[in-house]
């Protein structure tokens, strides 16, 4: 009987290790392994406060080493914002997107043309980057913070 209990605990332990190993990836892992260098896609509307997020078709290039986003001649810096650093108002917005995000790799970014204006500071406008299909598809949407009555940036694209 002791051998059966020992084998049962060993099996349970291995199952727990596998569950943890297959669990949610860290943001750093998602950026390193899933996020591609560029995506071509479309958003019907422009972002509120970023030159990079324009309406219409565009290519967005991620410079992961220098934390920059580029589109055409425009570029901005981005910083990944941990969910626990979000203001309460934005956590509610994230919760409202919970069903869309469940089981997907995503992270939140703060953007600005000046690197010093974002590092460790939250801007007025944040964007959620959602990756699917192993990073081949991307959706970048603007958090609806009430700054515009025109609608919100919602880019969908594919990696080249």
Q: Domain for residue 15, yes or no?
A: no
Residue with tokens 């591609």: 36
7 domain-assigned: no
Tokens 């055409």 sit on residue: 72
- What is the distance of C-alpha 128 from the center of its chain? 5
Determine, yes or no, domain membership for 107: yes
CATH code, domain carrying 124: 2.40.128
Whether 126 is covered by a domain: the verdict is yes
Contact 72, 103 (CB under 8 A): no
pLDDT exceeds 70 at position 158: yes
Please, is 55 exposed, middle or buried when counting C-beta atoms within 10 Å of its C-beta (0-12, 13-18, 19+)?
middle
Q: What is the residue range of 104's domain?
A: 25-159
The answer to whether residue 16 scores a pLDDT higher than 60 is no
- Would residue 1 count as lying in a domain? no
Considering its fold, how many domains does the chain have in total? Answer: 1
Q: What is the DSSP string of the chain?
A: -HHHHHHHHHHHHHHHHHHHHTSPPPHHHHHHHT--SEEEEEESS--SS-SS--SEEEEEEEETTTTEEEETTEEEEEEEE-GGGS-HHHHHHHHHTHHHHTTSEEEEEEEESSGGGTTT---S-EEEEEEEGGGTEEEEEE---SS-SS---EEEEEE-
The pLDDT of residue 70 is 92
Mean pLDDT (the chain) is: 79
Query: How much is the average pLDDT of 8-17?
Result: 52
Q: What is the pLDDT of residue 151?
A: 65
Mean pLDDT of the 143-147 span: 62
Flag whether pLDDT at 50 surpasses 60.
Answer: yes
Q: Of 22-36, 59-73, 126-140, where does mean pLDDT reach its minimum?
A: 22-36
What's the rounded Cα separation, in Å, for the pair 148 and 49?
A: 10
- Is 2 within the bounds of a domain? no
Residue 3 included in any domain: no
Q: How far apart are CA 58 and CA 122, in angstroms?
A: 26
Domain membership flag for residue 111: yes
| pLDDT > 50? residue 59 | yes
* Predicted pLDDT of residue 147: 55
**pLDDT of 72 above 90:** no
Query: Model confidence over 82-137: pLDDT tens digits?
Result: 888 877 767 777 777 888 888 899 999 988 888 887 766 776 678 899 999 999 99
């Amino acid at each position: 009987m002791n051998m059966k209990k020992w084998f049962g605990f060993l099996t349970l332990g291995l199952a727990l290790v596998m569950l943890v190993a297959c669990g949610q990836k860290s943001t750093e892992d998602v950026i390193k392994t899933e996020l591609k260098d560029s995506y071509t896609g479309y958003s019907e509307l422009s972002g509120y406060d970023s030159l990079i997020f324009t309406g219409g078709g565009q290519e967005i290039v991620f410079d992961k080493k220098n934390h920059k986003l580029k589109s055409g001649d425009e570029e901005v810096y981005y910083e990944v914002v941990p969910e626990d650093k979000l203001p309460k108002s934005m956590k509610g917005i994230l919760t409202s997107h919970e069903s869309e995000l469940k089981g997907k790799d995503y992270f939140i970014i703060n953007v600005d043309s000046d690197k010093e204006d974002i590092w460790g500071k939250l801007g007025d406008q944040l964007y959620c980057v959602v990756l699917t299909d192993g990073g081949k598809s991307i959706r970048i949407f603007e958090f609806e913070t009430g700054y515009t009555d025109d609608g919100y940036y919602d880019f969908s694209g594919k990696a080249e």
